[in-house]
């Protein structure tokens, strides 16, 4: 058992993203930020993921201003963001110049730790993000997209962790987005990585399947340096285990956490009120607090289970739910066992649904699946068979290079397109990431009743 473990608190990002679809506005965070800064966390995960899109699309907030505001209140604790490698905060590959600019500006505006991952664990898709983070003076944490399959073994992940460290990772994270990491596998995996890699190791899981606390215990026993938890108000179910509970349990076992329980209680009391507000409005669906052991049976994220059921119900095909679930692992095998994380989880789930509904496998094929088989998302963990490739893209030959090598620089054109609305370089990057949402937001900002401080930054090619 390690004698010390640090905590990353997720309520400002993944906790609320997992339970209320990232609808928490900055005003619900402000009153408690100083207390969070004094609680003893290693980091606060508070940006990236879906927060950027949600700020623009639903909350009428400038995501960059949110970052700067939180930074102004947090003086002692690291601020952390989640970045999807070459996909940044969106769902497609961006040119290297956009990736470098987003990473640099994130760090300039207050981010300390950039957790970067690739849905396929293709390290080529991490290269530019890692380099940009290091150049800007940030801490780059490379995340392994954890999954299970015949090829995703402990040696596979240990080799991947070593590659990430060789690429310049300052720390490694085992990112178990589906909550499928079992206690025994966690013990083996953490031990295996710690034996080969010297940088700190963090473990991130979800409580979806009901085993997360045991997974964290075995991870700490095996030498994990950091674990991700969420304050009790937004914990459990599709979120992370409760921060206070893990602190009390580990402290009782002689593990030093560095956390202040009185401060944690204050934080929980504040977010209990926030939670109750979202519960009353209906945004917080009680089902997100449920335990879903089927996530272990089918090896798919809990959110994917609920999304598939919702789609089928809307189509009047709820009776085909089990059939679609059984098709998911078959499609995943056909696709070379990609980890079921955004955007691959949505793609595989949609293809499985189409296979069942149409009555013929691969009779209907989404564009995203065709692009994936073409190699435009990166290399599949296992080569896709000629039979499946021909079904999906015919005689086309997949690309073998890093996908972003085929993308020309994008910033000059983006600056030109949004010149009438952009007041800062950050505005240009918002437009690069989410063109329609950013244009709408920046257009609303021109309204004289929308109070926003004037920016003096000259907009140019970043």
Task: Give the tens place of pLDDT for each residue, 236-277.
Answer: 999 999 999 999 999 999 999 999 999 999 999 999 999 999
Alpha carbon of residue 220 to chain centroid: 22
Q: What is d(CA 192, CA 378) in angstroms, rounded to the nearest whole number?
A: 26
Q: What is d(CA 121, CA 124) in angstroms, rounded to the nearest whole number?
A: 9
Residue with tokens 């329980």: 261
Contact (CB, 8 A) for 197 and 226: no
Number of other residues whose CB lies within 10 A of the CB of residue 326: 12
Q: What is d(CA 161, CA 172) in angstroms, rounded to the nearest whole number?
A: 7
How sure is the predictor about 454, in pLDDT bands with cuts at 50, 70 and 90? very low
For residue 342, pLDDT beyond 90:
no
What is the CATH T-level fold of the domain 6-281, as seen in this structure?
TIM Barrel (3.20.20)
Q: Region 188-199: what's the mean pLDDT?
A: 98
Contact (CB, 8 A) for 29 and 274: no
- Length in residues, the chain: 462
pLDDT score of 456: 36
CA angle centred on 96, ends 370 and 346, rounded to 5° = 35
Give a three-class secondary structure readout of the chain: CCCECEEEECHHHHHHHHHHCCCCCHHHCHHHHHHHHCCCCCEEEEEECCHHHHHHHHHCCCHHHHHHHHHHHCCCCEEEEEECHHHCCCCCCCCHHHHHHHHHHHHHCCCCEEEEECCCCCHHHCHHHHHHHHHCCCEEEEEEECCCCCCCCHHHHHHHHHHHHHHCCCEEEEECCCCCCCHHHHHHHHHHHHHHCCCCEEEECCCCCCCHHHHHHHHHHCCCCEEEEECHHHCCCCCCCEHHHHHHHHHHCCCECCCCHHHHHHHHHHHHHHHHHHHHHCCCCHHHHCCCCHHHHCCCCHHHHHHHHHHHHHCCCHHHHHHHHHHHHHHHHHCCCCCCCCCHHHHHHHHHHHHHHHCCCCCCCCHHHHHHHCCCCCCCCCCCCHHHHHHHHCCCCCCCCCHHHHCCCCHHHHHHHCCCCCCCHHHHHHHHHCHHHHHHHHHHHCCCCCCCCCCCCCCCCC
pLDDT score of 447: 67
All residues at 6 or more sequence positions from 250 whose CB lies less than 8 Å from its CB, including other chains: 5, 217, 220, 257
Contact (CB, 8 A) for 403 and 96: no
Q: What is d(CA 158, CA 427) in angstroms, rounded to the nearest whole number?
A: 39
Provide the percentage of residues in the chain whose pLDDT is more than 90.
83
The residue ranking higher by pLDDT, 134 or 301, is 134
Domain ranges of the chain: 6-281, 298-404, 410-462
Provide the percentage of residues in the chain whose pLDDT is more than 70.
95
For residue 373, pLDDT beyond 50:
yes
Residue with tokens 């996530």: 295
Contact (CB, 8 A) for 81 and 115: yes
pLDDT in tens, 302-325: 667 767 877 888 889 989 988 998
Q: How far is CA 448 from CA 336, 444, 453, in A?
A: 53, 9, 12
pLDDT score of 461: 40
CATH 3.60.15.10 for domain 298-404, yes or no, is no
How sure is the predictor about 445, in pLDDT bands with cuts at 50, 70 and 90? confident
* Mean pLDDT, the chain, integer: 93
State both tokens at 286: 């009680």
For residue 366, pLDDT beyond 60:
yes
Identify the CA nearest to 197 among candidates 164, 246, 227.
164
pLDDT in tens, 90-133: 888 999 999 999 999 999 999 999 999 999 999 999 999 999 99
Q: Region 332-350: what's the mean pLDDT?
A: 91
Q: What is d(CA 340, CA 120) in angstroms, rounded to the nearest whole number?
A: 9
pLDDT score of 183: 98
Contact (CB, 8 A) for 461 and 415: yes
pLDDT score of 204: 98
Q: What is d(CA 381, CA 335) in angstroms, rounded to the nearest whole number?
A: 9
The two beta strands, 201-204 and 226-229, are parallel
pTM, two decimal places:
0.92
pLDDT score of 453: 45
pLDDT in tens, 41-99: 999 999 999 999 999 999 999 999 999 999 999 999 999 999 999 999 988 899 999 99
| Range with the poorest average pLDDT among 97-101, 212-216, 443-447 | 443-447
How sure is the predictor about 449, in pLDDT bands with cuts at 50, 70 and 90? low
């Amino acid at each position: 058992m390690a004698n010390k473990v640090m905590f990353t608190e997720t309520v400002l990002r993944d906790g609320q993203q997992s339970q209320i679809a990232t609808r928490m506005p900055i005003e619900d965070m402000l009153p408690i930020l100083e207390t969070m800064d004094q609680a003893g966390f290693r980091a606060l995960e508070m940006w990236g993921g879906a927060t950027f899109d949600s700020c623009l699309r639903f909350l009428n907030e400038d995501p960059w201003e949110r970052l700067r505001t939180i930074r102004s209140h947090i003086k002692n604790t690291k601020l952390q963001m989640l970045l999807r490698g070459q996909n940044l905060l969106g769902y497609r590959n961006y040119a290297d110049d956009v990736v470098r600019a987003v990473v640099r500006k994130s760090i300039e505006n207050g981010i300390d730790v950039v957790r970067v991952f690739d849905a396929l664990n293709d390290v080529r898709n991490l290269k530019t993000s890692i380099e940009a983070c290091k150049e800007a003076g940030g801490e780059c944490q490379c995340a392994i997209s954890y999954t299970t399959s015949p090829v995703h073994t402990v040696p596979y992940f240990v080799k991947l962790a070593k590659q990430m460290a060789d690429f310049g990772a300052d720390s490694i994270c085992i990112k178990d987005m589906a909550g499928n990491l079992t206690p025994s596998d966690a013990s083996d995996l953490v031990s295996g990585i710690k034996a080969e890699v010297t940088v700190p190791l963090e473990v991130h899981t979800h409580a979806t399947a009901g085993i997360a606390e045991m997974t964290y215990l075995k991870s700490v026993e095996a030498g994990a340096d950091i674990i991700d938890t969420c304050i009790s108000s937004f914990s459990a179910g599709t979120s992370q285990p409760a921060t206070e509970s893990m602190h009390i349990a580990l402290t009782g076992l002689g593990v030093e956490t560095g956390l202040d329980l009185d401060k944690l209680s204050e934080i929980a009391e504040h977010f209990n009120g926030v939670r109750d507000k979202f519960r009353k409005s209906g945004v917080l669906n009680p089902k997100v607090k449920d335990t879903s052991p089927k996530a272990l049976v089918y090896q798919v994220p809990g959110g994917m289970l609920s999304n598939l059921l919702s789609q089928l119900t809307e189509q009047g095909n709820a009776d085909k739910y089990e059939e679609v679930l059984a098709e998911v692992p078959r499609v995943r095998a056909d696709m070379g066992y990609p980890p079921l994380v955004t955007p691959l989880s949505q793609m595989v789930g949609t293809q499985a649904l189409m296979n069942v509904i149409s009555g013929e496998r691969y009779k209907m094929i989404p564009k995203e699946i065709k692009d994936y088989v073409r190699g435009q998302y990166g290399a599949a963990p296992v080569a896709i068979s000629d039979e499946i490739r021909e079904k999906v893209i015919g005689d086309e030959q997949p690309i073998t290079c890093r996908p972003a090598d085929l993308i020309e620089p994008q910033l000059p054109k983006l600056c030109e397109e949004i010149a009438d609305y952009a007041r800062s370089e950050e505005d240009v990057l918002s437009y690069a990431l989410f063109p329609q949402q950013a244009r709408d937001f920046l257009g609303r900002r021109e309204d004289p009743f929308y109070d926003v401080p004037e920016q003096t930054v000259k907009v140019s090619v970043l």
